[in-house]
Amino acid sequence: MTAAPLTIGIDIGGTKIAGALVDAEGVVLAEDRVTSPATEPAHIETAAATLVAGLSAGREVVAVGVGAAGYVDAGRSKVLFAPNIAWRDEPLGADLAKLTGLPVVVENDANAAAWGEFRFGAGRDVEDQLMVTVGTGVGGGIISGGRLQRGAFGAAAEIGHLCVVPDGVLCGCGNRGCLEQYGSGSALVRDARSTASGGSRLAAGLRERAGGDPMAITGPMVTTAAREGDPFAIGLFEQLGHWLGHGIASLVEVLDPAIVVIGGGVSEAGSLLLDPLRTTFDSRLVGRGYRSQAEIRSAELGNRAGVIGAADLARS
């Protein structure tokens, strides 16, 4: 019996480019990563091609899938816009295909992660799933009837830019009040630094962890403090969970998924984030107690979800 062909998944973010050689069962056979030269599109492509060359050496690889942070066109080839990477109408798929000599499929990074979780992770037992990725920003992916929903122009599921506070905090997208300005890792750190800079005694523990410099407070620092019982840090996660639960309840009213999968780096805080998220979600959902309710689940594939999903989309 001939072995199923292998594909490579690449996840391009603002700070790193990760790659993995993946088989048809979603098993990672090899992986590597490099620092992302986010301000130089040509250098990003060269770095990604170098990863592909290393992972494919001596192996039969048939295609490459790329998860890219930004708006990807309906043809799954061009990155139209990326807020944190220097991409504007970037022909990423065509350029990488020339550099690697392989077919290349480009997909939004959160969509790729959602597909990975649907095929091989927390959503493998359902046909309808909403994934919410909580990291520097907030991303999303929608699976409906077993299919990835990309919309008419390829830009569906940009849930981080759902407006939750009209005329609220200015977002990097140019609008105000977007969900990711209240429910992301960036929001967590911003609020921690703001309170600590104001001299509040509530943030004394975090200031001490940061060596007295409020601007040195990081997300992992807040997570560690919360796990060790710091009331202020716990409160920051409660606030984060509240906003995410509020936004997700609105999305569930529209999409009616069987499950909501929570992934991304901030989700590693576990119950610190998920408990308040579930509480707000339960309280905001219309018709609660009289309808089937989506289950909130933790993602299972961790930071590999994007590369596994991208590799599987390339195979499909």
Q: What is the pLDDT of residues 194-251, one digit of tens each?
A: 999 998 999 999 999 999 999 999 999 999 999 999 999 999 999 999 999 999 999 9
| pLDDT confidence of residue 3 | 65
**Strands 104-108 and 88-90, sheet pairing:** unpaired
What string of DSSP letters covers 107-174? EEHHHHHHHHHHHHSTTTT-S-EEEEEESSSEEEEEEETTEE---SSS-TT-GGG-BSSTT-SBPTTS
Q: Looking at this protein, which amino acid is placed at residue 293? A: Q
The CATH number given to 127-299 is 3.30.420.40
User: What residues contact 148, with CB distance under 8 A and at least 6 apart?
Assistant: 111, 114, 115, 118, 141, 142, 313
Q: In this predicted model, what pLDDT tens digit does every residue of 88-123 receive, in sequence order? A: 999 999 999 999 999 999 999 999 999 999 999 999
User: Structure pTM?
Assistant: 0.91
pLDDT in tens, 145-167: 999 999 998 889 999 999 999 99
Report whether CATH 3.30.70.360 matches the domain 6-115+304-315. no
Q: What's the CA gap between 98 and 245, in Å, rounded?
A: 43
2 pLDDT band, cuts 50/70/90, is: low
Segment 254-275 mean pLDDT: 95
Domain ranges of the chain: 6-115+304-315, 127-299
Q: Roughly what angle, to the nearest 10 degrees, separates helices 41-56 and 92-100?
A: 40
Fold matches, 6-115+304-315 and 127-299: yes
